[in-house]
Structure 1
Amino acid sequence: MAESVRIDVPLEVVDGWPPVAVETLDSWREEGDTAVVESIPVFALDLSRGDTALTSPGPDGILRFEGRTRRGGHATFRFITLEGDEPVRPVVERLRQLGADVVPTSFPALWALDVPPEAHVETVHAALAEAAARGVLEFEDPRTYPDSASAH
């Protein structure tokens, strides 16, 4: 049985963003010094649920992220609501119908969503783009990251 572990991912903070210097992700330990990311990253860009991370032991028992060794086939989008949570509820429901796992974060108006390999990232992107065109939200497209393989 796989062991549940936590991985600290150091973040580059520029002009106060993101509001944290480390994101801790729930993961499952694999063999040796690797673990598979289970939670949806909020601030760790170019990292998604299902990715395999190379880790090193941390002083507090939480593993430290050293790099990604394998993609898991998931894509991670983040969005910010512009008019509160009520107008975004139908969008969230639609995204869930499309197979995405959508979660609010502990930061007001910020949401994260995971698109698993069996869902269609282009359809999810289109739903987000339509909501953005209506002024309901602004979103971050993982396909714009330097290593754009994060979106399947």
Structure 2
Amino acid sequence: MEKVLFALEVEDGWPPVGVEGVWCEKVGENFQLKNVPFFIANIAAEDIFHAIPDPVNDHVFEFEIVKESGHSVIWLMNNIDLDITEFVDIVKALGCSYEEFSQYSLAAIDAPPEVDVDQLNEVIDKFEEKGINFAFPVWRLD
């Protein structure tokens, strides 16, 4: 596995970083994403994508999805410092993976295609009502 660095467009201070490194495996001339991104939109875990890192700084500025994995990405922002242990336990029990970027009160959730979307939506709705913010940069569950 190797880290692939994606250049991020920062606007009004967001995202709080200019580059995100994600773990990938080489698949021929392409890459397969092996973790859930915090700031890279339009790509999910296990997607196979084509990208040519910039020869000067080795950052990816553009990519093309070659094969979608069926995974979805959910971003969570906990600006109210709510205890979300219950949320984390439920999404993990549903088969999702959960990664935290505690410095910015963020989490990234990988929802595989076999997850029970009704149960997932139920827990998201419950915590949204409590004040947690969610974004869905890749949603492939139906």
Which range, TM-score by smaller chain? 0.7 to 0.9
Normalising by structure 2, what TM-score?
A: 0.86
Which residue of the partner structure matches residue 80 of structure 2? Answer: 83
- 1:130 matched to 2:119: no
Q: What is the CA–CA distance in structure 2 between the aligned matches of 1:48 and 1:66, rounded to whole Å?
A: 13
Instruction: Report how many residues are paired.
Output: 140
Q: Which runs of 5+ in 1 are unaligned?
A: 144-149
- Cα offset for 1:58? 4.3
Q: Deviations over 1:32-86 (max 9, x none)?
A: 2x0100011100012110111102244479563532222111000010113325x
Q: Which runs of 5+ in 2 are unaligned?
A: none
Which residue of the partner structure matches residue 146 of structure 1? Answer: none
Which residue of the partner structure matches residue 29 of structure 1? Answer: 26
Correspondence list, 1:104-119, <5 A: 104-119=100-115
CA RMSD of aligned residues (A): 2.1
The 1:130–1:39 alpha-carbon spacing in structure 2 relative to 1, beyond 3 Å, is same
- Cα offset for 1:107? 3.1
**Corresponding residue SS for 2:104:** coil
Q: What is the CA–CA distance in structure 1 between the aligned matches of 2:47 and 2:68, rounded to whole Å?
A: 5
Which of 129, 139, 151 is the aligned partner of 2:140?
Answer: 151
Which of 60, 69, 73 is the aligned partner of 1:72?
Answer: 69
Contact conserved, 2:7 with 2:59, CA < 8 A, in 1? Answer: no
- 1:40 matched to 2:59: no
Identical-pair percentage: 23
Q: What is the CA–CA distance in structure 1 between the aligned matches of 2:84 and 2:122, rounded to whole Å?
A: 15
Q: What is the CA–CA distance in structure 2 between the aligned matches of 1:30 and 1:63, rounded to whole Å?
A: 18
The 1:82–1:131 alpha-carbon spacing in structure 2 relative to 1, beyond 3 Å, is same
**Corresponding residue SS for 1:99:** coil
| 1:16 aligned partner, one-letter code | G
- 1:120 matched to 2:109: no
Normalising by structure 1, what TM-score?
A: 0.80
